[in-house]
Amino acid sequence: MKKYCYLPVVFGLFVANQLFAQSDDPKAIMKSLYSESLSNGQSYKMLDYLSNKIGARVSGSPQAAEAVEWGKQQMEILGADSVIMQEVMVPHWVRGNKEKGDILSDKIPGGAQHVPVCALGGSIGTGEFGIKAEVVEVHSFDELKKLGRKNVEGKIVFFNRPMDPTLINAFEAYSGAVDQRGSGAVEAAKLGAVAVIVRSMTLNHDDNPHTGGMHYANDVEKIPAAAISTNGADLLSKFIKEDSKTGFYLKMSCQTLPDEKSYNVIGVIKGSELSNEIVTVGGHLDSWDLGKGASDDGTGVVQSLEILRMFKTLGIKPKRTVHIVLFMNEENGLRGGTKYFEEAQKDASHKYIAAVESDAGGFSPRGFNIDTDQVAVNKINDWKPLFEPYGVYDLKKGGSGADVYQMKKIKAITMELAPDSQRYFDIHHNVNDVLEKVNPRELEMGAATLASMVYLLANFGTGN
């Protein structure tokens, strides 16, 4: 079995004289967490290995399987009281050869202009010879429906709704545009389209296409779905305005293989007093394949592992049990998050009080989005003065991480670490998702913030 003992993280993990005495003073505990993370943090070193030695980790791939084994061994090295391997069957989609996309128009010298495209995750391929057809541009599903079958059938639908640059929170801008990526192929196929092209989900104007998950419907014909870079989208839109007969040539060799067996990796820190109550924290191991999966979601994975390291190093013994979960298949199926929820729902011997996810990048932490009733949000806001010295001030009601949101159904409070959002979609799902785009200090600040929230939840509860 391959061993991943690459870290100096074992430097003093079990050295008793470096352990802090257990304290119920949250201010002192949080200070120790931030000091440890910023002085001795291991998140960046772990992320280096995960993103550069293992690399991109598409669900079902050999790299995803290697990441599972790496996660298990790290939890054992870092001193988890136990490690649970939670089996889950996951989809296995492969990109195949590099995609090809050309704008076709009499307005172009030579008749064709190459533009950067990539297959959306889960898409079918185009076949050996590709697809060539006229393009119709739309900005919404309503606009598509108004065109009707007579104007769509046999054509490629180009969804060109950009993210709204006026929204300060970039995740809100993403939410306002991403439905065309997820559902565009289904809606276009209903009207007889032969393929879809979707403007990349980023506020940047560049030549990097952004992949991401899409889905099909069982009762609608499957058609190929590709993303086009924002510069490519602007150029395509320009030619369509100049020439209503503008066409597009798309060639993709992606395909979906049979499901593969994989695992959620769960590291357990047993509670010292209320061991039957559980606080969950985690990130997802899988990633897309254009970059190295450093920010999405390598950062959440290593921040979660850093909680385990710091709790053990500092001698922090949570009153409630903590589950540190490395989820599998967030990107194109959520099967890991669903499996964890299903097993928790069946678990009559434990009460799951909170579930926290880090899946918004490794940038400077600003707060937490909290998906629960306002009473519980107000209670958690009582902790706001503890976070403010560290630049964390925004504890607000909002949506939670994709892997944990279902835990609401069993009355757990669900939350997501909320870093600064301005740069995230520059790197999201594209070739720029690499280690070099992650700032070590910002990453460790996020780890300390996540660890502090888990400590507060595990020791003081939520009142839910």
- Active site residues per annotation: 330
In angstroms, rounded to a whole number, what is the distance separating the alpha carbons of residues 416 and 397? 10
Contact in structure between 77 and 46 (CB atoms under 8 Å)? no
- Find all residues with CB under 8 Å of 17, minimum gap 6, and list them: none
Contact status, residue 124 vs residue 222, Cβ threshold 8 Å: yes
Contact 333/91 with Cβ under 8 angstroms?
Answer: yes
User: CA angle, 399 as apex, 440 and 229 as ends, to 5°?
Assistant: 65
Other CB atoms within a 10 A radius of the CB of residue 119 amount to 27
Cα dihedral sign, 433-90-87-68: negative
Taking a C-beta distance cutoff of 8 angstroms, is the pair 446, 420 a contact?
no
Bridge partners of 326, per DSSP, are 265, 283
3-state class percentages of the chain: helix first, strand second, coil last, to nearest 5: 35, 25, 40
Angle, CA of 4, 8 and 12, to the nearest 5°: 120
- Single-letter residue type at 46: M
297 cis-preceded (ω within 30 degrees of 0): yes
